[in-house]
Amino acid sequence: MVLTGLTGVGLAAALLAGTGNGAERLPTLAVAGYVLAYVAGGLPALRTAVRVLVTRRRLTISLLMVLAATAAAAVGEVRDGAILLLLFSLAESLEGYAMGNAKRAVASLMKLRPETATLIDGSTRRVVLAETVAVGQRIVVMPGERVPLDGVLIEGQSSVDQSPITGESVPVDKAVGDPLFAGTVNGYGALEVEVTKDASSTTLARMIDLVTEAQSQRSPSQRFSAWFGQRYTQFVLLGSVAALGAFLIFDMSTQDAFYKAATLLVVASPCAVVISVPAAVLAALARAARMGVLFKGGAALEDLGSVETFALDKTGTLTEARMRVTDVAPFGVSRSELLSLAAAIESDSQHPVAAAVRAAGESEATPPPVSGMTAVPGMGVTAIVAGTAHWAGNRKLAGAQGARLEQLVETELARLEALGRTIVIVGTGERVLGVIAAADTIRPSANTALAGLRAAGVKRIVMLTGDNAVVAAAVARELGIAASDVYADLLPEQKVERVKELRGSGTVAVLGDGVNDAAAMATATVGIAMGAAGTDAALEAADVALLSNDLARLPQAMKLARAANRVIRQNLTFALGIMAVMVVATLVGDLPLPLAVVGHEGGTILVVMNGLRLLGFGVGPARRATATGTALGERLEAA
């Protein structure tokens, strides 16, 4: 910017000294002004061009600009050459600043990492550098402080703002045993944390590494623009020389021929084409990081934007992998009595369904005392409750106990089995006291997410699961997935085969909850891992990582990717179009060099600014407060 300013000062001084009545009195000032403009505006570009030419044997756009300015000066149009250097220098500075916004937006992640931690050392506490704290040591995080390292909460409770890592807009309540991530902000309570990862291995550190890596990886469009820019630059230089020869052959004056050739060098330079794609990609990667979505590079971003089919795992992805009681059918007892009794019988069972029954029963009433609990493998549990033998289990256990399943009971069992529920029959002796059904919990955001994917243009949504067909069909019905698009009872290798079949008809994205689905994700066009915060394997396995378990991030990421692809197409179309128009105007008309420079550099700045619009993607009036209220969001919004 300083050199650009000096170029402008030199040009202004030269113009003032070389015009009006003072032209004869101040010719030295005019010469000095032009020299300053050419040195300040041209020397840095020339140094860059020569260095790249010598070290990489490549021609650059900077070389074209310097040659054009030199040609203009050689034919006496010193002013036009100085204007060219000023506008080129200004455009380069503005592009660098604008592109830096996208990079600074992601680099601001590093500011979230506290440099110190309060270490518990026996009975004392002392502040140390976070990088010196080892795994297994304990630290204290006071209210309002950032968590310096990943760990598990061992004492205290609080709400923690996880938005810088996962993108969640609402603070998350934390209790003993819950994980904590570096860079998140503690709320109201003092927390004692046992460190589980050192400073270089935290989720935040991995995010920084992955985003930095993503910025360095080129997408197909980026590779095209780079390839085009390099080869087209050579073509422009040779073409301008050929055009100069043609102009001279057709009896154009030497001055006009060199001037027109210099103008052609400017208008045909592919600046806008080269910068149009990186501007959009970097901005989209920065916006995605703010949303709690990590892309492994521009290729993953572009691929996600073209996906036609989404294949989703069921357990742990569409559902929470956590059983809950869905139906309670008592026979001869009250609902609360049935649940309380079942909770007592299942009090020592480690089965996930037993945990769901206990949770439901304890919420109704205090379970009665129990003794003599005995597990019956493959069937259920028996126990003595209030001095009477009771049992809870499946049909096999009911049969073994000699229970009579009357028509009313059979009807209820048939209804629940058709829904894919896991059923617990509760009884005493030959009498059935009731039926309790449990099912995996569908994520609250699942329906909204699938609707969002369809609205974003996804043509087909498929469920891939290792669970049985009845359960899978029940979940699919609740989520509006067609029965023909449900594939159940699949082993990992069978999921891979299904994904290969789906890829035969178009691009496919596979969403899973980590390593379990790694093979299927690797086979897909785009693999997406959800709930990846804190999980190195999940971050490594996928092309895209949703850091939280909020499925609503999925359609947002999809829409962002499609918006990025649209912006890339817009930029390339505009850049190539404006370049073609100006080349034709130069060849068949009399386009002035200053106007050519304005069109060339103005077009370059426009495509950069169009790409940077993606930094504000999805931040509408209704969501602006949420999107910008987070620590990372504020930094990115400022950038």
Q: Could you read off the pLDDT of 484-493 as tens digits, one per residue?
A: 999 988 877 7
Predicted local distance difference test score (pLDDT) of residue 625 = 32
pLDDT of the residue at 365? 78
Residues 6+ apart with CB under 8 A from 64: 233, 236, 237, 265, 266, 269
User: What is d(CA 379, CA 523) in angstroms, rounded to the nearest whole number?
Assistant: 39
Any idea what the CATH number is for the domain that residue 178 is in?
2.70.150.10
Dihedral sign, CA of 207, 212, 215, 216?
negative
In a domain, 464, yes or no: no
Do residues 334 and 428 share a domain?
Answer: yes
User: Would the pLDDT of 222 be above 50?
Assistant: yes
Q: What confidence score (pLDDT) does residue 60 get?
A: 72
Contact 303, 543 (CB under 8 A): yes
Q: Which residues pair with 431 in a beta bridge?
A: 428
Average pLDDT, the chain: 81
Q: How many CB atoms lie within 10 A of CB 251?
A: 7
Could you list the beta-strand ranges (E) of 286-430. Answer: 293-295, 309-313, 319-330, 370-376, 380-385, 388-393, 422-428
pLDDT tens profile 589-604:
888 888 887 887 788 8
pLDDT at 341: 93
Dist. CA 300–CA 572, nearest whole Å: 19
Higher pLDDT: 108 or 398? It is 398
Residues 328 and 427 in one domain: yes
On whether both 350 and 387 belong to a single domain, the answer is yes
The reply to whether 150 and 259 lie within a common domain is no
333 to 330, 373, 398, 534: CA distances (angstroms): 6, 22, 18, 46
Pairing mode, strands 319-330 and 138-141 = unpaired
- Where is the domain boundary, 409, 442, 475? 442
Average pLDDT over residues 301-310: 91
State how far the Cα of 447 lies from the Cα of 443, in Å rounded to an integer: 8
pLDDT > 70? residue 219: no
78 with 176, same domain? no
Q: How far apart are the first and last CA of the chain?
A: 18
Q: Which one has a higher pLDDT value, 451 or 162?
A: 451
Instruction: Tell whether 275 and 165 lie within a shared domain.
Output: no
Q: Strand 124-129 to strand 138-141: parallel, antiparallel, or no bridges (unpaired)?
A: unpaired
Range of the domain at 337: 320-442
C-alpha–C-alpha distance, residues 124 and 443, integer Å? 44
Domain co-membership, 324 together with 435: yes
Give tens-digit pLDDT for 356-391. Answer: 999 998 888 788 888 888 888 878 899 999 889 999
Residue 169 corresponds to which tokens in the numbers above? 């807009």
pTM over 0.75: no
Cβ atoms within 10 Å of 615's Cβ, excluding its own? 19
Pairing of strands 179-180, 544-546: unpaired
Residue 47 CA to residue 42 CA, distance in Å, equals 9
CATH code where residue 409 lies: 3.40.1110.10
Count: domains in the chain: 3
CA 606 – CA 175 distance, rounded (Å): 50
pLDDT surpasses 90 at 162:
no
Q: How far apart are CA 262 and CA 85, in angstroms?
A: 13
Q: Is residue 604 part of a domain?
A: yes
Q: 125 and 86 in one domain?
A: no
- Give the mean model confidence (pLDDT) for residues 521-532: 82
State residue 622's pLDDT score: 34
pLDDT at 213: 61
Residue 549 lies in a domain: no
DSSP output for 383-411: EEETTEEEEEE-HHHHHHTT----HHHHH
Q: What is the pLDDT averaged over residues 155-163?
A: 86
Q: Angle at the Cα of 433 (from 428 to 434), degrees rounded to 5?
A: 135
* 271-290 helix and 203-216 helix, angle to the nearest 10 degrees: 160
Residue type, 123: S
Q: Are 393 and 423 in contact (CB under 8 A)?
A: no
Position 50 in a domain: yes
Tokens of 303: 């691929």
**Is residue 168 in a domain?**
yes
Name which of 10-24, 115-129, 301-315 the model is least confident about: 10-24
Q: Say which amino acid occupies 219.
A: S
- Residue by residue, what is the 3-state secondary structure of 10-43? HHHHHHHHCCHHHHCCCHHHHHHHHHHHHHHHHH
pLDDT reported for residue 106: 52
Active site residues: 313
- DSSP assigned state of 146: B
Question: Based on the domain organization, do 390 and 251 belong to the same domain?
Answer: no
In contact, 192 and 151? CB cutoff 8 Å: no
Q: Which residue has the higher pLDDT, 106 or 190?
A: 190
User: Within a domain: residue 399?
Assistant: yes
pLDDT, position 447: 92
- pLDDT at res. 323: 86
Q: In terms of domains, do 231 and 344 share one?
A: no
Closest to 117 in 3D by CA, of 157, 149, 144: 149
Examine the domain organization and report whether 437 and 331 are in the same domain: yes
Whether residue 191 is predicted with pLDDT greater than 90 in this model: the reply is yes
Please check the confidence at residue 634 and state whether its pLDDT lies above 80: no
Q: Assess if residue 229 is contained within a domain.
A: yes
Q: What type of residue sits at position 639?
A: A
Q: In the structure, what pLDDT confidence band is assigned to residue 201 with cuts at 50, 70 and 90?
A: confident
Residue 546 belongs to a domain: no
**Is a pLDDT exceeding 80 seen at residue 224?**
no
State whether 155 and 236 are in the same domain.
Answer: no
Residue 415 has phi, psi (to 5 degrees) of -65, -45
In the predicted model, what is the mean pLDDT of residues 322-332? 91
